[in-house]
Amino acid sequence: AVEEEEEEDGGGECVRSLPKLVAMSATIDATSFAAYLADGKGDAPVVRVPGRLFPVRCLHLEEVLAETRFGRGAAKGGRDGMPAEVDWALLTHLVEHIATAGEPGAILVFLSGAREIERCCSALRSRPSLRGAWVRPLHGSLSPAEQRRAVQ
């Protein structure tokens, strides 16, 4: 969304300033946001950049445990019923299962921070059944070249 403002230059003349630019997630209601930024001449323009969609299979923990037959002890509790820590044994077992018994394609693992992402990559690279697998981290602490390598 873009909104332009005019300011006085001190001599009573209006000078056009740079527009306000907002880059945002595609999940936000752009129409409502554009109306919010309306300047009286109409809603702020919205630029849409199309992306590609890929089929994704979402698995919930109960399904994962049943599908992998992975035995699990009591999870260390966190907020909102979510585990406070990553269960690395479960995570590596799950990725191994999907990579060796699942459908062809990519596996995306979403974690909360760079440290967890790097630890996940190390754990997966160390698994004999995943030797030679293409495992790449992707987070904001990586250089632009490393980020490009993760998505090529």
- Whose tokens are 């002890």? That residue is 73
Our CA angle for 86, 113, 144, nearest 5°, is: 140
Q: What is the pLDDT of residues 90-144, one digit of tens each?
A: 888 888 888 888 777 888 888 888 899 999 999 999 999 888 888 999 988 889 8
> Which residue from 84, 115, 127 is spatially nearest to 137, judged by alpha carbons?
115
* Residues 44/2, Cβ–Cβ less than 8 Å: yes
What is the β-pairing status of strands 20-21 and 6-8? unpaired
Q: What is the pLDDT of residues 11-70, one digit of tens each?
A: 666 665 556 566 665 667 778 878 877 777 777 787 777 777 777 777 776 777 777 777
Instruction: Please name every residue paired with 8 in a beta bridge, in sequence order, or none if there are none.
Output: 14
Question: How far apart (Å, rounded) are the C-alpha atoms in residues 21 and 146?
Answer: 28
Q: If you count them, how many residues does the chain have?
A: 152
For the entire predicted model, the pTM comes to 0.55
Our CA angle for 124, 148, 152, nearest 5°, is: 70
Structure-block tokens of residue 14: 């209006």
